[in-house]
Amino acid sequence: MNETIPFRLEAKGISKSYGAISALDDVNLALKPGEVVALLGENGAGKSTIVKIISGLIVPDSGTITIDGEEVVLPTVNASQAAGIAVVQQEFSTVGTLTVAENLVLGQRGASWWWSPSKLNSAARAILERVGLENLDPNTPVENLTVAEMQLVEIARVLAKDAKIVIFDEPTAALSDAEIVRVLRVVKRLAAEGRSVIYVTHRLPEVFEIADQVVIFRNGKSQPSRNVSDLTVDMVVALMIGRELGHLYPEKSPSIGEVVLETNGLKIAGMRSEVNLQVRRGEILGLTGQLGSGTAEIMQAIAGNADVLAGTVELEGSPIDLRGRRRGIVIGIAYCSPDRKKDGIFAGVSIKRNLSSPWLRRVSRVGFVSRKQEMDEATRSAANFAIDLARMQTPVGNLSGGNQQKVAVGKWLGIRPRVLLVEEPTRGVDVGARAEIYAQLRRLCDSGVGIIVSSSDTNEILGLSDTIATYYRGAQTSSKSASEWTEPELVREVMHRED
Ligand SMILES: Nc1ncnc2c1ncn2[C@@H]1O[C@H](COP(=O)(O)OP(=O)(O)OP(=O)(O)O)[C@@H](O)[C@H]1O
């Protein structure tokens, strides 16, 4: 990047504390026009906090922000927008009941409620084209879109604001590989137009594909900005976690035992074909496909959350009744949802209580549970998932996104599951914590728990699973040993039908 070009945005000496917790400590960040700066760091390192400060959601305790050389104060989201900053949120700010066109155009500068539907639609089409959604009907209600389409509409909505600085906070966390390609294309185009982009992610390949600079956060402090071209993935990981990672994925089991769970001729609402799956002792079964492939429906059905129209499921050789989640918990089927905010965690409740909640529900049948027992159980789960033991009484809602995910997975250990179903186990989770989650899943598997993981991250499915089943639009397209796949082949298998 040209040294003589002045900075578009400069944040200097930014600090922010919550009581005794220092979320940011003297953070510095600067970016030039046409530059993409990636923010990296472990869960809880402070990335979202700096994004919230720049977007006017929270006010720092100290520090200054300048835009094009002029100091600005950003006490509100409106002030941030007026300064030319736009943020693509992880939580969508689109309104479900409105159409795509209404969401995209209304509220933008120069647009009016009085526009005719055709004017509204043509304005919306022009915006949709920029994110590769030219084939989407602008009259579609947003609530009918897939998660990926919603994310792209959210990006389109932000682009329509014509901002100088665009911030992406983990925009690809809920997307599969094909949709990620589209998002990265948009980011490159924004930079080519001379806009500045701040890009927060846990997916390192994305950084190497789109970013010019990377700023690594650790424990609330920022490290000096580095040229991405001077770095390798291993160097970035070491800078993030302060140590070499070693192997991300644990060794696979040398031997696979008898069947733990088996589905026979399962007919599930939303699936085009019957589901016949087996998961055996010592085996991690990985299900993968694009969004809408059916993997979510299968996981929900086995967890007892979805309608099963026909067929049987056997757990350790005995038929089980899949109606109702409660029943599933009692017989030892743990299900970890991909949507931790909706049904993974209780945000206002302590880490301890979240970790012990499924276990408490199960043992409450026997009556009294001592606080010590509850704490012991919760501490065991926390230690296994590298959750900070000093923060057991902290409400989970105050944790960073990745740490919330560790709690959402870790809480199921307490019920001593016989089968563990995990959807998107590491969405939003940093690379160090991912290694811990993978190691823990492998340990559980080796101890005899049947594990089914579904993920749209093909690298994760390949690295973690023993057997991989692929799905496309509600039907299985293959099932074989992970050792028979290479990553490009698996990506092609999952995506090629899109061509
Ligand atoms: N409202 C709050 N109250 C107390 N602590 C908070 C609050 N918001 C954030 N924190 C703490 O500030 C620190 C930084 O959190 P932040 O969300 O910025 O991390 P992050 O780098 O974005 O993590 P992740 O990758 O998991 O999203 C964490 O220790 C978090 O628990």
> What spacing in Å lies between the alpha carbon of 415 and ligand 1's midpoint?
28
- At 268, list the tokens: 């599930």
pLDDT bin (cut points 50, 70, 90) of residue 363 is low
> What spacing in Å lies between the alpha carbon of 65 and ligand 1's midpoint?
20
Q: pTM higher than 0.80 for the full model?
A: no
Atom of ligand 1 nearest to the CA of 18: 4
Q: CA 296, 337, 38: angle at the middle one, nearest 5?
A: 95
Average pLDDT over residues 174-186: 81
Report H helices in 197-266. Answer: 204-210, 233-241
ipTM score for this prediction: 0.97
Contact 438, 386 (CB under 8 A): no
Closest of 400, 396, 468 to residue 433, by C-alpha: 400
Give whole-number Cα distances, 247 to 164, 250, 334, 481, in Å. 40, 7, 27, 21
- The structure tokens 């094909």 sit at 178
> What spacing in Å lies between the alpha carbon of 404 and ligand 1's midpoint?
10
Query: Is any atom of ligand 1 closer than 6 Å to the C-beta of 21?
Result: yes
Question: Which range (77-91, 184-198, 457-471, 473-487) has the least confidence?
Answer: 77-91
pLDDT tens-place string over residues 97-150: 678 888 787 655 555 556 677 777 888 888 888 887 888 898 888 878 877 788
Report H helices in 136-215. Answer: 147-159, 177-192, 204-210
Q: 439 or 109, which is more confident?
A: 439
pLDDT at 306 over 70: yes
**β 467-472/284-289 pair status:** parallel
Give whole-number Cα distances, 166 to 126, 174, 312, 323, 391, in Å. 19, 19, 50, 46, 34
Where b means 16+ CB within 10 Å and e means fewer, 385-418 reads bbbeeebbeebbebbbbbbbbbbbbbbbbbbebb
Query: Is any atom of ligand 1 closer than 6 Å to the C-beta of 46?
Result: yes
pLDDT bin (cut points 50, 70, 90) of residue 496 is low
Quickly count: other Cβ atoms within 10 Å of residue 488's Cβ: 9
Query: Is any atom of ligand 1 closer than 6 Å to the C-beta of 450?
Result: no
Contact 490, 320 (CB under 8 A): no
Among protein residues, the one with the nearest Cα to ligand 1's atom 2 is 398
Cα distance between residue 274 and residue 479, in whole Å: 14
Terminal-to-terminal C-alpha distance of the chain: 36
Among protein residues, the one with the nearest Cα to ligand 1's atom 5 is 398
> What spacing in Å lies between the alpha carbon of 401 and ligand 1's midpoint?
8
pLDDT tens-place string over residues 376-429: 888 888 888 778 888 899 999 888 877 888 888 888 877 788 999 999 998 878
Contact 1, 40 (CB under 8 A): no
pLDDT at 499 over 60: no
Cα distance between residue 386 and residue 383, in whole Å: 5
Cα distance between residue 33 and residue 377, in whole Å: 52
